[in-house]
Structure 1
Amino acid sequence: MLFYSAHADAVIAARKIEKIWVEKTLAAPDWIEPDPADLTVSRAFKQIEDFGNRVLRVAYRPIGADILVITVFFDRGARR
């Protein structure tokens, strides 16, 4: 099951990010990397065609079989 932090929900609403984009990013990311500040957190990246091919970054933490989305944003500096 997918859960969103209060921060993630606020950012999604404020930046008009579609939750389906978040779900697609987590289901089939273009690449994943660990968060250097917290190794319990991963960052998933995916190019979103519907948003001008910009790269969406989703920071998340697995909790058992569930996933907690911590934050979401379009990352201008994302490079593989």
Structure 2
Amino acid sequence: MRVTYTHHAQTVMAERDLDPEWIERTVRRPDQVEPDVRDPALLRAFAAVPGCGGRVLCVVYKPAPEGCIIVTTFLDRRRRVT
């Protein structure tokens, strides 16, 4: 699966110190996937990030024929691994 990043995604990854490996692992092996509430063309993938105290990474992406396009990503303050 080919993963590409929008300019916005690259910017927030740098600002939030998010490792590209975390993002790609979340898209490839998510704990949960759900449709984006604002844009039905997008999906939200969630996965726990090892070493982040149970915090969950959310990756918003658009499926593409060759892989996916990462739109944005953030550590979701409302989700925790139980």
TM-score by length of 2: 0.91
The structure whose residues are more often helix, as a share, is: 1
Amino acid at match of 1:78: R
Matched, 1:55 2:26: no
How many angstroms apart in 1 are the aligned matches of 2:79 and 2:55? 9
Q: Distance in 2 between matches of 1:7 and 1:51?
A: 23
Task: Detail structure 1 runs of 4+ shifted over 2 Å in the superposition.
Answer: none
CA distance in 1, matches of 2:37, 2:27: 19
Q: Which runs of 5+ in 1 are unaligned?
A: none
Question: Is structure 2 residue 77 aligned with structure 1 residue 76?
Answer: yes
Match of 2:12 in 1: 11
Which residue identity does 2:72 align to in structure 1? T
Contact kept? 2:57, 2:74, Cα under 8 Å:
yes
- TM-score, normalised by the number of residues in structure 1: 0.93
Question: Structure 2 CA distance, aligned partners of 1:20 and 1:50?
Answer: 13
**1:28 and 2:29 correspond:** yes
Identity over aligned residues, as a percent? 38
Aligned residue type for 2:79: A
Aligned residues: 80
CA contact (8 A) 2:55 2:79 kept: no
